[in-house]
Amino acid sequence: MIDNGKLAMAPTAETRAKRPFDFAKWWDRIGILVVLAVLVLLMSSIAPNFNRVDNLLNIARSISVNAILAAGLTFVILTGGIDLSVGSIVAVAGVVAVVLAIAGLPAPLAVLAGMIVGAACGLVNGALTAYLALAPFIVTLGTMTFLRGLAYTITAGQPIVSSGLNFKDIGNGYLAGIPAPVIVMAVVYVVAWFLLERTRYGRHVYAVGGNAQAARLAGVRVDRITTSVYVIAGACAGLAGVIFAARVISAQPTAGTGYELDAIAAVVLGGTSLAGGRGRIIGTLVGSIILGILSTGLILLNVPFFRQLLIKGVVIILAVAIDSLKTRSLPFLRRDGVTA
């Protein structure tokens, strides 16, 4: 005998047809991968030498700095925050690491020092945002300007070149034929994935981004979580700064200029909502790969630099537009008939 109640609740072909298209779910599952596949096919057909192994390795190497930055920013954006200072942290961390290495500090300690400087900058951002309730946009805009000035002050506005830089292999070396920065990037993403997907800390990060007040009532230390994500972003920016300095074998006060925009674009393209509480670290990696392939393809096509800036600007606007579309799709009915 058929239960009429269950029959009434069972979805029919007509109700399935009436369900609105959930753009957010589609984009998170396959949308970003479709974009990546189309871009690879396009560049393979129009960009000369794009498919060469050495070029692919160069693309992977060039992606690493922005991808590491984006990994750290993912934590911040998941909580509904923003960090505009990561590009300046790249410069300061690189300068500090190079100066200490020239002074005789061993390579591992010089690299660690760069990361600690980045984490300290992130701690300042996080403490001002969490404990003084200042707007993260304003806080990180201020520290972005301050840190850029600090990098210029330490270097007197001139690059500090060291051909014998003791940690240069982290930017230019290889391990089993794979560029060292790519290996570092992979480690960063494995750790970030584990923290966000397999730990209580990761659940708290998502909870704070979803509803900070509800998370606080549930016992989550919102201030500590907020501060910690900025520390993570700063440490990642510090590591990216060390890798950049190693690649160019110098301390550049201009390093990282504009990198924060590329990193934010990669995070949002990868499916993380600027409103917080929604996104995946793997999506950020895919978003970084898309931007890296686009940049390299434009160079191979001999597109002038100023036109590359135009295209990057369009990509950033597109990323924000996608995030807006995803947010608007959230109230649509899910498969179980419950609104998001």
pLDDT digits (tens, 9 = 90+) for 3-15: 554 444 455 555 5
In the predicted model, what is the mean pLDDT of residues 23-28?
67
Q: What's the gap between Cα 240 and its chain centre?
A: 11
Q: What angle do CA 25, 279, 82 make, to 5 degrees?
A: 135
> Token pair 């692919």 is at which residue?
56
Q: Which residues pair with 59 in a beta bridge?
A: none
For residue 13, being part of any structural domain is answered with no
For residue 297, being part of any structural domain is answered with no
For residue 175, being part of any structural domain is answered with yes
Q: Which residues pair with 179 in a beta bridge?
A: 174
For residue 160, being part of any structural domain is answered with yes
Evaluate whether 319 touches 269 at the Cβ level (below 8 Å).
yes
Q: How confident is the model at residue 338 (pLDDT cuts 50, 70, 90)?
A: very low
Side chain identity at residue 118, one-letter code? G
For residue 248, being part of any structural domain is answered with yes
What pLDDT is stored for residue 14 in this prediction? 53
Tally of domains in the chain:
1
What pLDDT is stored for residue 312 in this prediction? 81
For residue 254, being part of any structural domain is answered with yes
Element spanning 174, H or E: strand 174-175
CB neighbour list of residue 86: distance below 8 Å, 6 or more residues apart: 69, 72, 73, 233, 234, 236, 237, 240, 256, 259, 260, 263
For residue 136, being part of any structural domain is answered with yes
For residue 185, being part of any structural domain is answered with yes
Side chain identity at residue 226, one-letter code? T
In the predicted model, what is the mean pLDDT of residues 244-251?
95
Q: How confident is the model at residue 51 (pLDDT cuts 50, 70, 90)?
A: confident
Which residues constitute the domain of residue 100?
65-285
